[in-house]
Amino acid sequence: MTVVERIDQVRAFVQNSGQSTIGMVATLGALHAGHRSLIEFARAAGDTVVATLFLNPMQFNSDNDIDSYPRTRDADLKLLRDAGAALVFAPSVETMYPPHCDTAVVPGHVAKRLEGMKRPGHFQGVCTVVAKLLNIVTPARAYFGQKDAQQIAVIRRMVSDLDMDVTIVICPTVRDSDGIALSSRNILLSPKERSRAVVIPRALEACREHFRAGERDAEALRVILRERLSNTVDLEYASVADPDSMDELDTVTQQGIASVAARIGTVRLIDNVPLTLSD
């Protein structure tokens, strides 16, 4: 595995990769088994994996938020090496956003709901950095986890609208044995907070079970989420929405996405489950 910090080094690697297809896995760092699974999916598809390791300041809403984000570079590099990444692009902020940089990618409607309301400017930061990374790495495929469902919808919309020549691959959420979705922020939970957090996947699974049993009224499904969460966590939202537009649904006809955001102590967690008739 090669670790580089400059854009020209990434482009030279891609140019010298011959007939290999490139698969990109973009990360903020503080990696876990969920990130490892993205690399494994890419390798299973036959891709040469380029992973990126960049704590993107543009997608954080406050200095406190980015300052509290875990930094585990040595462990991250070991995980990437063990998982089989061929190249790691770990640029500085100055490399990604030099002083003259004055352009951003501003997403539209899909970015204004849910996370977009709670974290103004977040998806502009996501779209800008992902667009830059896609331009630098030029992958055939880019791999993202289902846990960040709205991020996936926003990135897919950007890729389609800007005619980017890349396929966005969605990989299943990886969960711990207690059902909690793996997240870089989980390590910030105290043991007591961790025990409270299990209510989130349980509420989502209850919502999905009611959907499987025939409940199609989206508000009834949202009520299930709120009733199971409101007394245990600081609930920010409970949503049953269209997975492409992220608009709240009245009725789940073909597919939907049930998602929640909640705070436990100072830690903010998000999670979701797809609702599909073939589920």
pLDDT at 65: 83
Q: Which of 35, 100, 109, 122 is catalytic?
A: 35
Q: Does the annotation count 32 as an active-site position?
A: no
Same domain, yes or no: 31 and 122: yes
Select from 127, 142, 171 the last residue of a domain.
171
CA-CA distance, 153 to 76, in Å (whole number)? Answer: 27
pTM, whole model, 2 decimals? 0.94
The annotation status of 148 as a binding-site residue, yes or no, is yes
Select from 171, 197, 215 the last residue of a domain.
171
Same domain, yes or no: 9 and 143: yes
Write the CATH number for 44.
3.40.50.620
- Domain with 50 in it: 2-171
Question: What confidence tens digit (pLDDT) does each residue in 18-75 have?
Answer: 878 999 999 999 999 999 999 999 999 999 999 999 999 999 988 888 988 889 999 9
What would the two tokens of residue 228 be? 């199971």
Comparing CA positions, the residue from 184, 174, 181 lying closest to residue 31 is: 184
Give the H/E segment covering residue 134. helix 122-137
Select from 171, 204, 222 the last residue of a domain.
171
Between 279 and 82, name the one with better pLDDT: 82
Please provide residue 57's backbone torsions phi and psi, each rounded to the nearest 5 degrees: -65, -25
pLDDT at 82 > cutoff 80: yes
The annotation status of 183 as a binding-site residue, yes or no, is yes
pLDDT at 273 > cutoff 80: yes
Over residues 241-270, mean pLDDT: 96
177 occurs within a structural domain: no
Same domain, yes or no: 252 and 132: no
32 occurs within a structural domain: yes
Number of structural domains found in the chain: 2
178 occurs within a structural domain: no
The annotation status of 3 as a binding-site residue, yes or no, is no
Mean pLDDT of the chain: 96
Same domain, yes or no: 120 and 166: yes
Same domain, yes or no: 258 and 147: no
Write the CATH number for 222.
3.30.1300.10
What would the two tokens of residue 238 be? 């409970």
Strand ranges inside the chain, DSSP E: 2-4, 22-27, 48-53, 87-89, 141-145, 167-171, 234-241, 255-264, 267-276
CA-CA distance, 35 to 79, in Å (whole number)? Answer: 9
pLDDT at 278: 74
The annotation status of 118 as a binding-site residue, yes or no, is no
CA-CA distance, 129 to 89, in Å (whole number)? Answer: 13
42 occurs within a structural domain: yes
Question: What confidence tens digit (pLDDT) does each residue in 218-229 have?
Answer: 999 999 999 999
